[in-house]
Amino acid sequence: APGVSSYENNGCVGIISTTYCQSQSLRLYKHLSQFDNQYYDEMSGTSMATPLVASLCALMLSKDTTLTPAQIKDILQNTAQPSLSNSFTPLAGIIDAEAAIKAVGETKFDAPVENLKTTRIVFDTAWLTWDAPTGNEHSILGYRVFCNGVIVDSCTQATSAKIYPIPSGQNVFLVSVLYEDGFVSTRKETRAIAPEIFNVTATIRPQEGGVVTGTGRYTANALVTLTAVPNEGYEFVEWINLGDPDFSSKLTHYTFRISQDENFGAAFQKAVANEQAENQAFSLTPNPAHEQVKISSPALISRISVVDLQGRTVKQIDHVNASEYTLDVQGLENGTYVISLQTQNGNLQQKFVKL
């Protein structure tokens, strides 16, 4: 029930009730002359909502004195009408007394699940676990899983669930038990906050100019590093931000903290051959490769890193101290990677394909 004024389909605000003084709000602010000199007034807030909900609970108990507080809450939530207000929790609604009293006579309860918890949240995916009920009198058919009041699995046999996608912010997860002969349990509840998620994308011009690592999804305020890797015969020119015409950066590795969706452009151009470029080149043979790739560098290598196109380092070899090295790539998934060398001449990079 609302704790502040709530505008609904019928246009009413608050609750009309008897009061100890002649009407003020209805007469002065709503201009309803029929309430002049009457001991009625309109108010809103928990002071008005609480006695209405409490009286409905009393009616429910008068019909079934065995109801527990959890069962009463479950029936109220399951029979409530949706609220147009966005200021309440996902399970909030407008109580429906007729539906609630009817549900008292129709709902048959057995034991709920135990130890429901959110084990982890990654981006917009949540994992739940729970234990089977104890002390139940009926055979279990399955479990019903809810996210913010909406059914996401109507009858799973497992005592765990993966929920995707979930919105950022506060989320309410519930699990109930379905039993034989129409019996159910109250819904157990756990809450968890999902992080705000932003997307980083990149447009490459020309498309054959190179690849960009570091794009993907990130949580708010995460540190993002985009790396431009030119293909053979091309060189990196600059970054542009497609949402900010004033932005430009010539850094091959561009790092920033994310606070919104970002779409970058990576500009490459045909490289001009010169002696310095030849001195900085290194070879990968074979490329593509299935099991091993031989790395030959004009300078002494101190570290080798293999980075996927999402910017994640999937393999790293430290203290190489050689200009040639045979890299085992059997454990990598098939796809395109960037091999980065840390050498005495600086950092060198080249695209590599694993078959």
CB 262 within 8 A of CB 239: no
Give the pLDDT of residue 271: 81
Looking at residue 8, its pLDDT comes to 43
d(CA 197, CA 6): 31
Q: Which residue has the higher pLDDT, 65 or 51?
A: 65
Percent residues over pLDDT 70 in the chain: 83
For the stretch 134-174, pLDDT in tens is 999 999 999 999 999 899 999 999 999 999 999 999 999 99
Sign of CA dihedral 316, 120, 225, 334: positive
pLDDT higher than threshold 50 for residue 1: no
DSSP string computed for 289-300: BSSEEEEEEEEE
DSSP classification of residue 81: B
Is pLDDT of 40 > 50?
A: yes
Q: What pLDDT sits at residue 18?
A: 66
Position 275 pLDDT exceeds 50: no
- Return the structure tokens found at 131: 């234990």
Instruction: Give the number of other CB atoms < 10 A from CB of residue 59.
Output: 13
pLDDT at 85: 62
pLDDT per residue as tens digits for the range 215-228: 999 999 999 999 99
140-147 vs 313-328, strand pairing mode:
unpaired
- Label residue 7 by pLDDT band (50, 70, 90): very low
Once rounded to an integer, what is the mean pLDDT over residues 22-37? 59
Three-state DSSP string of 32-57: CHHHCCCCEEEECCHHHHHHHHHHHH
Which pLDDT band holds residue 86 (cuts at 50, 70, 90)? low
* Rounded Cα–Cα distance for residues 228 and 252 (Å): 5
Handedness of CA 280, 283, 289, 291 (dihedral sign): negative
What size, in residues, is the chain?
355
Which are the contacts of 187, defined by CB distance < 8 A and separation ≥ 6? 74, 77, 112, 146, 174, 175, 176
Confidence of residue 132 (pLDDT cuts 50, 70, 90): very high
With H, G, I as helix, E, B as strand and everything else as coil, classify residue 304: strand
pLDDT 10s digits, 244-269: 989 999 998 999 999 999 999 999 99
Name which residue leads in pLDDT, 217 or 281.
217
User: Residue 325 — very low, low, confident or very high, per pLDDT cuts 50/70/90?
Assistant: very high
Quick: pLDDT tens for 9-21: 444 456 666 665 6
Closest C-alpha among 300, 355, 307, 303 to residue 333: 355
pLDDT at 54: 94
Least confident of 53-67, 120-134, 267-281, 292-306: 267-281
Q: Where are the alpha helices (DSSP H) in the chain?
A: 46-63, 69-79, 97-106, 275-280
Q: How confident is the model at residue 347 (pLDDT cuts 50, 70, 90)?
A: confident
pLDDT above 50 for 2: no
Other CB atoms within a 10 A radius of the CB of residue 225 amount to 12
3-state DSSP assignment of residue 182 = helix
The Cα 13–Cα 85 span in angstroms is 12
